[in-house]
Amino acid sequence: MSDKLVIKQPEEFAFDAESEKQIEKILSKYPPKRKASAVIPLLYVVQDQMNRQTKSAWVPKVAMQVVAERLEIAPIRVYEIASFYTMFNLKPIGQYHLQVCTTTPCWLRGSDNVVAACMKATGIEKIGQTSNDGLFTLSEVECLGACANAPILQVDHDYYEDMNAASTEALIEALRRGERPKPGSQIGRLNSAPIDHQVSSNKPEAKSSSEGANNVK
Ligand code: FES
């Protein structure tokens, strides 16, 4: 078992009404004999409930046992999944989870600047740490599947795209004020369309996308 589990653990966990509603919907997607396949969605339900109740999105050990009971599987099958996937936090984290993608496309588009801006704005000195005020935890993650709008900073479940140092610092300050800026491209890109808004190869509306990309500061 991961040593990440050696922390102060709550003694009890029970799904609340909101989680029960989500679980009912999730389990309806699986044949009853295959409900073990719902282990990852249920771990997300646990994490989200912990966030609602404690402002820290993590999965306590006792909650893994509750998931195992609900899915009628051995607890070890839940532990091994929760400790394998990096999106599950096995210890308490800050109220906002800053996850910077540093895989090659994001790195080429400036993820180092995003990491540095996160540290500057939160006072965090090392990836994996939580800020002294308990508001932010900074993690480095692998490709988030949104490379077209690199670099990506994921905050909890939201993707903030086309980030740079200034937009990262502004985002963190807004979160600190209790605001939740609109996720998505932070430079006005439409979904993952080219930066210059060209949407057809027949009738170019502006410069080529590569020229447009070079113009991004
Ligand atoms: S490399 Fe960062 S989203 Fe794919």
- Sketch the domain layout of the chain as residue ranges: 17-84, 96-185
Tokens matching residue 190: 């439409």
Q: Fill in the amino acid letter for 58.
A: W
Of the candidates 99, 101, 205, 112, the one whose C-alpha atom is nearest the C-alpha of residue 148 is 101
Q: How far is the CA of 148 from the centre of ligand 1 (A)?
A: 8
Query: Is the pLDDT confidence value at 217 over 80?
Result: no
Atom of ligand 1 nearest to the CA of 105: 1
CA atoms within 13 A on the CB side of 184: 8
* Distance separating alpha carbons of residues 64 and 68, to the nearest angstrom: 6
Task: Name residue, tokens 């903030």.
Answer: 160
Residue 154, strand partner residues: 99, 159
Q: Which of 109, 152, 158, 161 to mutate to test the pocket of ligand 1 (most atoms within 8 A of CB)?
A: 152
Question: What is the model's pTM?
Answer: 0.85
For the segment 163-204, what is each residue's pLDDT rounded down to a tens digit? Answer: 999 999 999 999 999 999 999 999 999 888 888 777 777 665
Confirm or reject: Cβ of 100 under 6 Å from ligand 1: no
Confirm or reject: Cβ of 150 under 6 Å from ligand 1: yes
For the segment 107-160, what is each residue's pLDDT rounded down to a tens digit? Answer: 999 999 999 999 999 999 999 999 999 999 999 999 999 999 999 999 999 999
Pick the CATH number of 96-185 from 3.40.30.10, 1.10.3720.10, 1.20.1250.20, 3.40.50.720: 3.40.30.10
Atom of ligand 1 nearest to the CA of 143: 4
For domain 17-84, the CATH architecture is Orthogonal Bundle (1.10)
